Structure 1
Amino acid sequence: MKEVKAIIFDMDGVIFDTERVYLDIWSKVFEKYGYKITKEVYISVMGRGRKKVKEIFMKNFGENMPIEEMYMEKDAMLAKVIGNNEVPMKLGAYDLLKYLKENNYKVALATSARRNRVTKQIEAAEIESFFDAIVCGDDILESKPNPEIFIKAACNLEVDKEKCIVIEDSPAGIEAAYNANMIGIHVEDLKKADNDIKKYCYRSFKSLIEVGEFLKG
């Protein structure tokens, strides 16, 4: 841990309390089209890119699912919520980012979200200056658990991947960090630490406040 030079953050469910907002929006869209999404199905798509999410949804609900129309409605509803600045930061996120910057860590954001949404959220929260690199879903070909996004973030930071910590909430993200040969730290959001997450992560914490205490210690 003393060799760590960089911290790579996921965004949704780690820095912003987005996953609950997402689940609520998707639930409304699914209901409108005659479907019902469970928390378990939603957790299975957390952290994955749009293409993979569509594949998983159609596998669970059938090939005739009007996924393109449903995504358009979801995007519009989410854009309204973000435009109204209704997605709060996770407790401890700002203080942790500030601490890392003040203590000369390199910091990156690596998220499956599209860049236009990412830019809006981090600018509204006034945290864009904390990040030395930002890698979005638009910048990669393969989604988590493929390690591409984290490897690209480390390259942009010019830090060896073995000296990077990844902070993630999703099973796919934690597995991607493991596949990248990085130190994966899990922080609980919708998904509690189960055996699969524990298998791939270095440590699991209840909140970013606990993560901060661990890093400072």
Structure 2
Amino acid sequence: MTSDLAKTPAAAEPVVPRRKSELTRERLILAAAKVVGRVGYDKASSSRIAEEAGIAAGGLYYHFGTRQALLDELLPSLGEQMVAYVVDHIKHLPWGLEREVASFRAYLEYLADNPEFYRVFSEARVYAPAAYARNFDRTLRDFESALRVQCRKGFLKIGEKDLPLAAHFLTGIRNYVSQMYLDASPPKSVEVGDAVRLYRQLLSGGVFVA
């Protein structure tokens, strides 16, 4: 697979001024994600981001006002991209265990292709806390909503009162599996098959002998 973050808007086709402005903003967001992925938020200077985007440094301030305003856009933008990737890979599947397992697989595949996302996400808690909080709340709402559908269709062994806690559990698995691979020094390749196999086992039957 090719990296989603590596895709920058094509400049070959003529565009109207408003669309051109949108493309430049998108290019700056993707460039900032790459820079943060390499050096972190604290070292992602305006000049580095502008150079990565291939525009003059003043362009960043024209489109975002401040460097922080751009950094605050990273997690929401990449989060939407990741969710769209996952949805595209599960939308054809029926509800049930395999749909949730496929969701986990798609998330890990996205991380493997876009390792920048993990650093953007993990460091946002310190460097873009408002964006982190919004993303966290949205992730949990989306997860709980999906679990509610699974529950009402009879695919879960738990009741609706337990869904908020279950959403936290399953989100936590994603976060800590990501950390295991991408926080390692040096970062490890994401072993999608192994992680998916154990995830399916945990959800379907558990790992302990009763």
- TM norm structure 2: 0.35
Structure of larger gyration radius: 2
Counting strand residues as a fraction of each chain, which structure ranks higher?
1
